[in-house]
């Protein structure tokens, strides 16, 4: 028998959830990195009227056996679940319904995310369906990282002078990724991050550029390591610069630096985007687990 507990303090959540997040830090990368950024004051653009919480699932002995969160700054503000027992998912749905909390989507690990979407759809008199199938990849070891064919230009970290460009390209990423996956630009999510949040990423060395003759032609982002794992992304090349190896070389360098620092490196792909899947597997990234983004409506 399990119980569910919702917290509104990211610091308190991290103290309770550390064991679960550390046990499988690649699987838990989104929860860990987002929560650590919020605990540090990053990603402050979540609308104040939006429900924001972290989930602890405890077993009969009180041990934390599952976690999740609702922190997404983009509509429909989906909860994100890691593996959670079915009875806890159903209890979470009942709790959210009793709170009058509308859920328009759910992201994360299967089958928990699908079950929560289906339960919320039933309680709200709606239907649930998969919007996007995503796949989590990791480079198994530094020896598995494959150097790509060289591209013109060079790698560098973004600086405060690049902030306007970084903001534009972060905002452009989601629509471009949706288009490449064949879903059309109308499915691109709004970023939901402020300029200050992106400036913090730049200051932390988490945004890299590839440039040719002094002109930036590509951006690769990453997250600070959480439990020893660096998550790479977003990866964005403007249309006029695609197909020239910039993404492969930039992602390779970001990954190489993470591994050289003693961290693990992972990233997500949209399973419907053949370009990104081909690029990352060629670099040595191997699939870890499939997840999903679901809509309720």
CATH code for the domain of 263: 3.40.630.30
Give residue 51's pLDDT band: very low, low, confident or very high (50, 70, 90): confident
C-alpha to C-alpha distance for 53 and 30, rounded to whole angstroms: 15
Does residue 295 lie within any of the structural domains? no
* pLDDT mean over 88-93: 98
| pLDDT, position 275 | 86
**Radius of gyration for the alpha carbons in the chain, expressed in angstroms and rounded:** 19
What is the residue-averaged pLDDT of the chain?
92
CB 98 within 8 A of CB 120: no
Q: How much of the chain exceeds pLDDT 70, in percent? A: 92
Residue 149 has pLDDT above 70, yes or no: yes
pTM above 0.85, yes or no: yes
Average pLDDT over residues 249-259: 98
**Domain termination residue (choose one: 98, 126, 154):** 126
Q: What is the mean pLDDT of residues 41-48?
A: 63
Whether 254 and 171 share a structural domain: yes
Asked if 119 and 58 sit in the same domain, the reply is: yes
Are residues 187 and 238 both part of a single domain?
yes
Q: Are residues 25 and 146 in the same domain?
A: no
Range of the domain at 174: 138-289
Q: How far is CA 136 from CA 9, 256, 268, 285, 287, in A?
A: 27, 18, 5, 9, 6
Tell whether 187 and 75 lie within a shared domain: no
Do 102 and 144 lie in one domain? The reply is: no
Same domain flag for 73 and 210: no
Residue 265's pLDDT band, with cuts at 50, 70 and 90, is: very high
Closest to 231 in 3D by CA, of 148, 180, 288, 149: 288
The answer to whether position 294 is within a domain reads no
183 and 53 assigned to the same domain = no
Total domains present in the chain = 2
CA–CA gap between residue 55 and residue 42 (Å, rounded) = 20
pLDDT value of position 156: 98
Residue 43 has pLDDT above 50, yes or no: yes
| pLDDT value for 101 | 95
In this structure, the answer to whether residues 198 and 274 fall within a common structural domain is yes
| Residues 126-141: b if buried by 16+ CB within 10 A, e if exposed | eebeebbebbbbbbee
The mean pLDDT value for 241-261 works out to 97
> Would you state the pLDDT for residue 197?
87
pLDDT at residue 189 in the model: 46
Q: pLDDT grade, residue 247 (50/70/90)?
A: very high
User: Is 132 a domain residue?
Assistant: no
pLDDT exceeds cutoff 60 at 179: yes
CB-facing half-sphere around the CA of 36: CA atoms within 13 A: 18
Tell whether 283 and 159 lie within a shared domain.
yes
Specify whether the CB–CB gap between 30 and 68 falls below 8 A: no
Instruction: Tell me: do 100 and 32 sit in the same domain.
Output: yes
């Amino acid at each position: 028998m399990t119980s569910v507990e919702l917290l509104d303090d990211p610091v308190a959540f991290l103290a309770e959830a550390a064991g679960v997040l550390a046990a499988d830090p690649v699987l838990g990368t989104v929860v860990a990195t987002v929560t650590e950024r919020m605990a540090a004051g990053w990603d402050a653009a979540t609308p104040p009227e939006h429900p924001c919480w972290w989930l602890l699932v405890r077993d009969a002995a009180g041990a934390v056996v599952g976690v999740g969160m609702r922190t997404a700054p983009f509509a429909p503000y989906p909860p994100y679940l890691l593996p959670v027992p079915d009875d806890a998912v159903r209890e979470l749905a009942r709790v959210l319904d009793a709170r009058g909390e509308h859920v328009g989507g759910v992201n994360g690990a299967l089958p928990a995310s699908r079950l929560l979407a289906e339960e919320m759809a039933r309680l709200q008199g709606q239907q649930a369906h998969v919007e996007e199938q995503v796949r989590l990849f990791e480079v198994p070891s530094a020896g598995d990282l494959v150097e790509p064919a060289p591209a013109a230009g060079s790698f560098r970290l973004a600086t405060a002078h690049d902030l306007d460009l970084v903001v534009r390209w972060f905002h452009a990423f989601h629509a471009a990724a949706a288009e490449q996956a064949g879903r059309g630009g109308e499915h691109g999510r709004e970023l939901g991050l402020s300029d200050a949040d992106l400036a913090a990423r730049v200051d932390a060395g988490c945004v890299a550029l590839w440039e040719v003759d002094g002109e930036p032609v590509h951006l690769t982002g990453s997250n600070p390591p959480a439990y020893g794992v660096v998550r790479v992304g977003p990866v964005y090349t403007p249309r006029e610069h695609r197909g020239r190896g910039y993404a492969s070389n930039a992602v390779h360098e970001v990954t190489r630096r993470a591994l050289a620092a003693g961290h693990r490196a992972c990233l997500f792909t949209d399973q419907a985007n053949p370009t990104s899947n081909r690029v990352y597997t060629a670099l040595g990234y191997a699939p870890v687990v499939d997840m999903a983004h679901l809509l309720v409506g």
